[in-house]
């Protein structure tokens, strides 16, 4: 496992106005080894990776490549030295094809003319290596999030990298896609590539990592061989306190049925069936977990409930009132609320303040006549930041200045202020640090205890099992199994998620 050091950051510090993001960190990457870089949001992981990739320049300290000091002034320079990075946020042009995205900026051309055929041939090879034979001409915008992530990975692989940094590469991937990624990582490792792997999914980290480095508050607090550590140790190092996964505090008794989803089906423009005859009832005070792989139709189900797909068939009833003809605004008024999967794209308005984001769905409540009442609006904001422990420099701060977990809490606060009867949560803890995750779980349980009905969509088995009262598994647009909380083992859930209901052939 241990080889010579390819790239090393020696004593790097990063001073941002007002904060020290990194404090004399030394971090070494070895040839043919996977180093997991771990830390809560804001611990400095992204900053460190940015320095290694040439995106940011350290205030003090230096980088050494093969033992010689180097200065990367741009990503291009780092790239030229074979240092690649897969960002947490996807950096793809949705209007361009897969092949065009992969070769963006380094197009293959002969005598100034673009060689599309060659680009597509190489792209096809890359995608086959990733076990996702998608046609290279497909526009990236038409791909589901998980496949876009695959394209991002293919893009990094297309360069001859010696060092590859992956920031949350699996956040949008299903279990089987993660397996593929891990095979690719192992393959790269055997070819001598040094890999930095950042993830919040700790169990997953331990499967792939050779060594573990933990950052806390900008300092490197622990480094160890992955073989000798477990999740509990990592969490302790990250948070500086002992902790375990939060278990449900009490079994709640579910109340009467508040929402009924009755044989809902949805077909995509290309004829693919996204939802097939989904029926489910939801009771007041229960948390219904919905598990499934990427593309199982979980997000689409929530979107249908919220009225984003008027072309769906079947019906949705809230308090035995049909919602079918209502637009999203009216459904929210009727007591629905949704925390969407991607908070940057669908949850937050980045140009607005923390307060404006929190009150966005309930503005009428903080108005006197036609005017907004600043005092009442502020009062509501203070109440929510207190109740959900949203850490913010102030209510008027830009929402972008908050950490991922706190941004997510802002989205949740926005939903809660509408006092929904039914709350839909789509991957509410994705890209959120362990502390905030636990807090979000507590909030979910508390809301359920107060009588709210909650649907929790998650790709994390552990989370689904810890928070739900009842678990629904979806596979290829249909409900493939249902479990009571106590009965659902990880194996059973994973199995149900990968079975095809009714054995119908799937059109793709």
Partner 1 sequence: MTPARTNATPSVAPTHHLLISPAALLFRLRAIIVLVLLTAAFAIASPAFLTGSNLTILVKHVAINAILAVGMTFVILSGGIDLSVGSIAGLAGIVAGGLIHSGLVLRSIGVVVYFHTWLVILIAILVGAVVGVINGALIAYLRVAPFIATLGTLYVARGSALLISNGATFPNLAGKRDLGNTGFLWLGSGSVVGLPVAIWLMLLFAGAGIFLAERTPFGRRVYSVGGNERAAELSGVRVSRIKLAVYVISGVCSAAVGLIIAAQLASAHPATGETFELNAIAAVVLGGTSLMGGRGSVANTIIGAFVIGVLADGLILLGVSQFWQIVIKGLVIVLAVILDQLQQRYSRRTAAAMRHSL
- What are the residues binding partner 1 (CB under 8 A)? 16-19, 21, 40-44, 47, 216-218, 239-241, 306, 308, 327-329, 332-333, 338, 340, 345-352, 356, 359-361, 363-364, 367, 370-372, 374, 382, 385-386, 389-398, 400-403, 406, 414, 418, 433, 435
Nearest approach, Cβ of residue 179 and partner 1 (Å)? 32
What is 229-282 written as a DSSP string? --HHHHHHHHHSS---PPPPSSPPPP-SEEEEEEEEEEE-TTS-EEEEEEEEEE
Cβ closer to partner 1: 252 or 407? 407
Nearest approach, Cβ of residue 328 and partner 1 (Å)? 6
Nearest approach, Cβ of residue 353 and partner 1 (Å)? 10
For the chain, what's the residue count? Answer: 508
Dihedral (CA of 105, 111, 115, 118) sign: negative
Cβ closer to partner 1: 294 or 302? 302
Dihedral (CA of 150, 152, 158, 161) sign: negative
Nearest approach, Cβ of residue 295 and partner 1 (Å)? 20
Cβ closer to partner 1: 146 or 307? 307
Nearest approach, Cβ of residue 124 and partner 1 (Å)? 33
Structure tokens at 129: 């290596």
C-alpha dist (Å) from residue 388 to 136, 217, 382, 414, 417? 45, 23, 10, 11, 12
C-alpha dist (Å) from residue 72 to 12, 65, 79? 14, 11, 9
Cβ closer to partner 1: 372 or 449? 372
Cβ closer to partner 1: 42 or 289? 42
Contact 98, 74 (CB under 8 A): no
DSSP state at residue 43: S
DSSP state at residue 343: I
Nearest approach, Cβ of residue 346 and partner 1 (Å)? 5
CA distance 94 to 213: 35
CA distance 328 to 306: 6
What does DSSP say about strands 219-225 and 287-292: parallel, antiparallel, or unpaired?
unpaired
CA distance 64 to 394: 40
Cβ closer to partner 1: 17 or 112? 17
Cβ closer to partner 1: 59 or 498? 59
Nearest approach, Cβ of residue 373 and partner 1 (Å)? 9
In a 3-state reduction of DSSP, which class is residue 381?
A: helix
Cβ closer to partner 1: 395 or 474? 395
Nearest approach, Cβ of residue 427 and partner 1 (Å)? 14
Structure tokens at 447: 């809301």
């Amino acid at each position: 496992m241990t080889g010579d050091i390819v790239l090393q950051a020696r004593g790097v510090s990063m001073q941002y106005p007002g904060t020290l993001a990194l404090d004399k960190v030394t971090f070494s990457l070895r040839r043919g080894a996977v180093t997991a870089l771990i830390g809560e949001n804001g611990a400095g992981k992204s900053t460190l990776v940015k320095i290694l990739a040439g995106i940011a320049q350290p205030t003090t300290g230096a980088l050494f490549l093969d033992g010689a000091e180097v200065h990367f002034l741009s990503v291009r320079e780092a790239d030229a030295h074979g240092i690649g990075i897969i960002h947490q946020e996807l950096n793809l042009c949705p209007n361009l094809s897969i092949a065009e995205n992969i070769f963006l900026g380094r197009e293959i051309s002969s005598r100034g003319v673009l060689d599309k055929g060659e680009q597509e041939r190489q792209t096809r090879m890359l995608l086959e290596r990733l076990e996702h034979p998608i046609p290279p001409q497909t526009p990236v915008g038409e791909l589901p999030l998980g496949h876009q992530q695959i394209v991002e990975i293919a893009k990094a692989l297309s360069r001859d990298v010696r060092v590859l940094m992956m920031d949350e590469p699996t956040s949008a991937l299903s279990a089987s896609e993660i397996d593929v990624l891990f095979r690719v990582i192992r393959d790269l490792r055997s070819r001598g590539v040094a890999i930095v792997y950042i993830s919040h999914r700790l169990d997953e980290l331990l499967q792939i990592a050779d060594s573990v480095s933990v950052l806390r508050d900008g300092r490197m607090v622990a480094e160890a061989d992955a073989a000798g550590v477990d999740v509990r140790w990592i969490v302790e190092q990250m948070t500086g306190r002992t902790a375990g996964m939060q278990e449900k505090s009490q079994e709640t008794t579910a109340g009467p049925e508040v929402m009924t989803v009755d044989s809902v089906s949805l077909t995509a423009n290309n004829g693919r069936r996204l939802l097939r005859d989904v029926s489910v009832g939801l009771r007041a005070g229960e948390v219904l977990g919905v598990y499934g792989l990427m593309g199982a139709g979980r997000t689409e189900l929530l979107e249908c409930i919220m009225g984003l797909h008027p072309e769906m068939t079947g019906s949705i009833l809230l308090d035995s009132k049909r919602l079918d003809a209502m637009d999203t605004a009216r459904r929210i008024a009727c007591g629905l609320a949704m925390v969407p999967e991607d908070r940057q794209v669908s949850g937050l308005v980045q140009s607005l303040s923390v307060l404006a984001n929190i009150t966005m769905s309930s503005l009428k409540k903080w108005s006197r006549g036609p005017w907004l009442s600043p005092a009442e609006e502020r009062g509501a904001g203070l109440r929510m930041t207190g109740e959900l422990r949203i850490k913010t420099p102030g209510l008027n701060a830009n929402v972008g200045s908050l950490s991922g977990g706190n941004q997510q809490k802002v989205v949740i606060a926005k939903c809660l202020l509408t006092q929904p009867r039914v709350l839909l949560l789509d991957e509410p803890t994705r890209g959120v640090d362990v502390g905030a995750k636990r807090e979000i779980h507590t909030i979910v349980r508390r809301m359920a205890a107060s009588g709210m009905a909650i649907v929790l969509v998650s790709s994390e088995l552990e989370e689904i099992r810890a928070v739900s009262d009842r678990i629904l598994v979806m596979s290829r647009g249909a409900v493939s199994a249902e479990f009571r909380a106590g009965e659902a083992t990880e194996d059973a859930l994973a199995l149900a998620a990968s079975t095809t209901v009714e054995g119908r052939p799937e059109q793709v």
